[in-house]
Structure 1
Amino acid sequence: MEQYWNNRQKQKQAIRSGELWYDDGGRHINAHGGGIIKYGDTYYWFGEHKDDWTSNAMVGVMCYASKDLINWRNCGVALSVTAPAINQTNRQGGRRRGGATTDSDIEQGCILERPKVIYNPVTKKFCMWFHLELKGRGYDAARYGVAVADRPEGPYKFLYSQRANAGTWPLEGSPMHFDEYLKRDFGTGQMSRDMTLFVDDDGKAYHIFSSEENYTLQIAELTADYLHHTGRYTRMAPGGHNEAPAIFKKDGTYWMITSGCTGWEPNEARMFSAPSIWGPWTQHPNPCRGPKAEKTFMGQSTFILPAGNQYIFMADIWRPRHPRDARYIWLPIEFEDGKPVVRWQDEWIPSTITK
């Protein structure tokens, strides 16, 4: 059976969004809400491992590797969640729940979403950030988590989790003009949910995330080692209710595609542009074209990948009743009158194997 699937993979020469995508072992790729980094001549795809019955993290973050963005090798678990320790003395910093103790925030059964990895050429570390909700607390923790590794495929070591920029105001305005949720969370830190990472041309990196009860996106600068916030951050589209941010830069302009907040149900994509990462950000019409474009082809944005001479829009088709079976949408970004357009294609070939 394994040889059968290996032969099948060798024959695959195009991307077909919405279909089952198999790895080199014949299993549907399990890397949801993911992102991709290129290191050397290889692309590494990181995403949430989902089970058949729950979207909670029972395994952790998966990693897959490819040289052509079509045929993927399963590299295994890049970041593992921790199994609860039963009937042990609670260690400092641990939490006790129903007889179980753990000293890790990424305990099996937590919510771990949208992992993204960037490489720091100075420290030579691969840095993973993700949205984290503590086990048993629903979505009220609203934290980000950070992990590091020496190799792109891992294993990644979990460092810490927390909320964002506690005790720090954003770059805009005076405190008296700030919204209710921003002021409420000033001391404990701003909420951090759906997220992505972006490394600019000058090597500076940014954490972009849904905050303030998902009403406002925040863009926060990272320290030189890509492991913490510097304290400089801005609010984007305040009150706009955006999530699922995906960003890229072309010819000096920053472009971001997001979604509205409708849970697992798809909605119309939003698009913004700015001359600086700090703004001002201008909203544009939905960039999607084709069948079900008004619902983002029944998906939700997760990442935009620069690959060869293309930019690839990545999205997830969520299936909450069978999370593992969630499908992937990858489409090339075109440009019309200088603005990005995402046009549905049943099948297409990336420039990585056509150039």
Structure 2
Amino acid sequence: MGKPYIYNGVSWFDQNGDTVNAHGACLLKEDEKYYLFGEYKTDDVNKYIGFSCYSSDNLADWYFEGLALQPQNEGLLGPNRIGERPKMLKNHKTGMFVMLMHTDDLKYMDPCIGVATCDSIDGTFEFQGPLLFNGEPVRRWDMGTFVDEDGTAYLLLHEGDIYRLSDDYLTAVEKVAEKIAPGGESPAMFRHEENYFIMFSNKTSWERNDNYYLVAKDIHGPWKNQGLFCPEGSLTYNSQCSFVFTFEANGKNVPIYMGDRWSFPRQASSATQVWLPITVVGEKCLIPEFWPVWDSRSISNVSIGGLEESLEFQSNLSGESVSYQFNGSQVIVFGTSDCHSGYADFLIYDESGEVIHTAVVDFYSLVSDSNIRYVSPTFPAGNYMLKIMVTGTNGVWFKKDGTKFGSDDFYVTLQRVIVL
């Protein structure tokens, strides 16, 4: 087990060296272990193939437990359906684990909130059908959940609707707020002392934007828009809010922002996570700076020490590559992402010339960012070679109205490496 460092905006790898594949995620602690649930994506088609479950003792080393909820033979999560943003709840009254999620058709024209249950957090969940309110399915899409200090659970929806759930968390019984955030999606809520905070992103397709938040003394409202919680123009450090997990460290409860860096269409191989501590002062919450890597024990920024060398490279030519030989157990690569960049293949070879690790890294971001782009798994100390190759592909997508988003070129730009 390595140091409990959380690296932001880079791929994480599980016990098999595979990319951690959990998007629109949430986190739950059970029996001194953390469980991460998210969308298990593919790189070729945007449809439901399952919700993943990973476990960790330190938020840095991840173990793939398997698919928590499999595709169904028919119905809301059947063939050619969408399954997104799974959120996990533990009902301490019944002992049941309850998962809520957004289900839809492939054109996003048939939204419905679904419910699944299981007796254990790492077991296989059973899909129960739609979440009902007044006997009718809740037909909405972007969603989140929040559990208050007294165990009352809430469903959070795009546009800012909030529903209180029943005591068993299996139905919605009261609409406690309505349209408090017109145009908002991807809601995430937390409570700090006497205030409730709820975050939203704006609707910009797969593109990132400056997320914002509201605050209230009572979950019923009135809710007050407080503006941005990250520096303006940072596009929420190139991420979209997904969940807020309250982390216990140094005798304090610290809310941790959990956000996604989507990488359409390479969601399985290249999408990453951004997790950062939230500073709360009264009715204000903010994430004043981006930490590329931080220690989950002390919740403090970390500077990585090791052998640092230049690795200057820039190309947009498919197949062009650069190689770097190193002696150690891990390599960290720094580079620049911007709106002119595409994907790169990362390959690590052992002394015999065998490929022992591969990854696909996305160098696209609308806002330019020079930072860590890749952190390899930890290998036995030895001699290795890292090869980075331009794929000549990039992320481009279109809204329903034909608006084009994404990169306009295929550049891969590197600056330096650190060897540990």
Q: 1:121 aligns with which of 92, 107, 116?
A: 92
1:307–1:351: 8 Å Cα contact kept in structure 2?
Answer: no
Task: State the partner residue of 2:247.
Answer: 307
Shift of the 159–279 alpha-carbon distance from structure 1 to 2, 3 Å rule, reads: same
- 2:260 aligned with 1:316: yes
1:165–1:229: 8 Å Cα contact kept in structure 2?
Answer: yes
2:4–2:296: 8 Å Cα contact kept in structure 1?
Answer: no
Task: State the partner residue of 2:43.
Answer: 52
**In structure 2, the residue corresponding to 1:122 is in which secondary structure?**
coil
2:193 counterpart letter in structure 1: D
- 2:213 aligned with 1:271: yes
- 2:118 aligned with 1:205: no
What is the CA-CA distance between 1:189 and the residue it aligns to? 5.6
Please give the residue correspondences for 1:24-39 in structure 2 after superposition, counting only pairs within 5 Å: 24-39=15-30
Task: State the partner residue of 2:271.
Answer: 326
Task: State the partner residue of 2:171.
Answer: 228
What is the CA-CA distance between 1:153 and the residue it aligns to? 1.3
2:210 counterpart letter in structure 1: E
- CA–CA distance in 2 between the matches of 1:352 and 1:111? 38
What is the CA-CA distance between 1:302 and the residue it aligns to? 0.2
- CA–CA distance in 1 between the matches of 2:201 and 2:264? 18
1:294-317 Cα shifts (integer Å, max 9, x gaps): x11121000000011321101111
1:271–1:286: 8 Å Cα contact kept in structure 2?
Answer: yes
1:279 counterpart letter in structure 2: G
1:195–1:208: 8 Å Cα contact kept in structure 2?
Answer: yes
1:129–1:147: 8 Å Cα contact kept in structure 2?
Answer: yes
1:258–1:271: 8 Å Cα contact kept in structure 2?
Answer: yes
What is the CA-CA distance between 1:335 and the residue it aligns to? 3.0
Task: State the partner residue of 2:223.
Answer: 281
In structure 2, runs of 5+ residues without a counterpart are 301-420
Q: 1:335 aligns with which of 276, 280, 298?
A: 280
Task: State the partner residue of 2:351.
Answer: none
- 2:62 aligned with 1:72: yes
| Runs of 4 or more above 4 Å deviation | none
Task: State the partner residue of 1:20.
Answer: 11
Task: State the partner residue of 1:176.
Answer: none
Q: TM-score, normalised by structure 1?
A: 0.78
What is the CA-CA distance between 1:323 and the residue it aligns to? 1.5
What is the CA-CA distance between 1:109 and the residue it aligns to? 2.9
- CA–CA distance in 1 between the matches of 2:111 and 2:217? 29
Task: State the partner residue of 1:109.
Answer: 80
Q: TM-score, normalised by structure 2?
A: 0.67
2:215–2:283: 8 Å Cα contact kept in structure 1?
Answer: no
1:132–1:142: 8 Å Cα contact kept in structure 2?
Answer: yes
Task: State the partner residue of 1:257.
Answer: 199
Count of matched residue positions in the alignment of Structure 1 and Structure 2:
294
Shift of the 130–189 alpha-carbon distance from structure 1 to 2, 3 Å rule, reads: closer
In structure 1, runs of 5+ residues without a counterpart are 1-9, 84-101, 168-187, 211-215
Greater fraction of residues in strand: 2
What is the CA-CA distance between 1:108 and the residue it aligns to? 3.4
Task: State the partner residue of 2:291.
Answer: 345
What is the CA-CA distance between 1:256 and the residue it aligns to? 1.1
- CA–CA distance in 1 between the matches of 2:126 and 2:259? 27
1:142 counterpart letter in structure 2: P
- CA–CA distance in 1 between the matches of 2:263 and 2:142? 18
2:247–2:256: 8 Å Cα contact kept in structure 1?
Answer: yes
What is the CA-CA distance between 1:231 and the residue it aligns to? 3.5
RMSD of equivalent CA atoms: 1.9
- 2:77 aligned with 1:131: no
Q: Which of the two has higher C-alpha Rg?
A: 2
1:347 counterpart letter in structure 2: V
Task: State the partner residue of 1:184.
Answer: none
- CA–CA distance in 2 between the matches of 1:27 and 1:190? 36
Shift of the 63–346 alpha-carbon distance from structure 1 to 2, 3 Å rule, reads: same
What is the CA-CA distance between 1:243 and the residue it aligns to? 0.3
1:206–1:219: 8 Å Cα contact kept in structure 2?
Answer: yes
What is the CA-CA distance between 1:141 and the residue it aligns to? 1.2
Task: State the partner residue of 2:126.
Answer: 157
1:54–1:323: 8 Å Cα contact kept in structure 2?
Answer: no
- CA–CA distance in 2 between the matches of 1:76 and 1:165? 31
What is the CA-CA distance between 1:336 and the residue it aligns to? 4.6
2:161–2:175: 8 Å Cα contact kept in structure 1?
Answer: no
What is the CA-CA distance between 1:190 and the residue it aligns to? 5.2
